[in-house]
């Protein structure tokens, strides 16, 4: 029961959209929206600790993929990790965030082996397009040290 209490405390309006995607797409276990630097923003029905872990994994995977294409123009749009039990889809949801004060976002979907990869990708792109104007967040600012600030 403690887990449910933690889930309810941290919910945002976006969580409902992610839960809706989860319920419509067969084989979808979890859906998560995270900042490009690894902080969870919204997530479907999973506990907070699992959402935080998945946000960190998503960020790491996209970072590794970007490293493979460091000399190529353009950006990494999607990373898919296949497992015997299912797959993890990570899609860049940055939109047109060219402002250095903004951090793009990532949409992740963790599935079982029953999921149709084409349907998952289609639904992810559709959600990103629908939320495009909300998918950038300001970078975290560090507080200056000293003087009690």
pLDDT digits (tens, 9 = 90+) for 42-84: 888 778 898 999 999 999 999 899 899 888 888 888 999 999 9
**Would you call 135 helix, strand, or coil by DSSP?**
coil
**Would you call 139 helix, strand, or coil by DSSP?**
coil
pTM for the whole structure? 0.77
Cα–chain center distance at 41: 8
**How does pLDDT run across 75-128, given as a tens digit for each residue?**
888 999 999 999 999 998 865 445 555 567 899 999 999 999 999 999 999 998
**Would you call 68 helix, strand, or coil by DSSP?**
helix
Residue 82, φ and ψ in degrees, nearest 5:
-95, 140
Q: Which residue has the tokens 């294409």?
A: 69
């Amino acid at each position: 029961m403690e887990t449910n209490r933690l889930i309810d405390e941290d919910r945002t309006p976006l969580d409902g959209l992610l839960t809706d995607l989860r319920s419509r797409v067969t084989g979808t276990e979890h859906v998560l929206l995270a900042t490009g630097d690894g902080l969870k923003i919204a997530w479907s029905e999973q506990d907070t600790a699992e959402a935080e872990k998945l946000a960190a994994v998503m960020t790491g995977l996209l970072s590794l993929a970007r490293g493979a294409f460091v000399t190529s123009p353009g950006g990494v749009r999607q990373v898919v990790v296949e497992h015997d039990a299912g797959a993890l889809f990570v899609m860049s949801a940055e939109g047109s965030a060219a402002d250095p004060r903004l951090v793009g976002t990532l949409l992740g979907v963790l599935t079982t082996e029953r999921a149709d990869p084409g349907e998952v990708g289609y639904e992810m792109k559709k959600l990103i397009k629908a939320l495009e104007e909300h998918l950038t967040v300001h970078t975290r600012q560090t507080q200056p040290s000293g003087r009690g600030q």
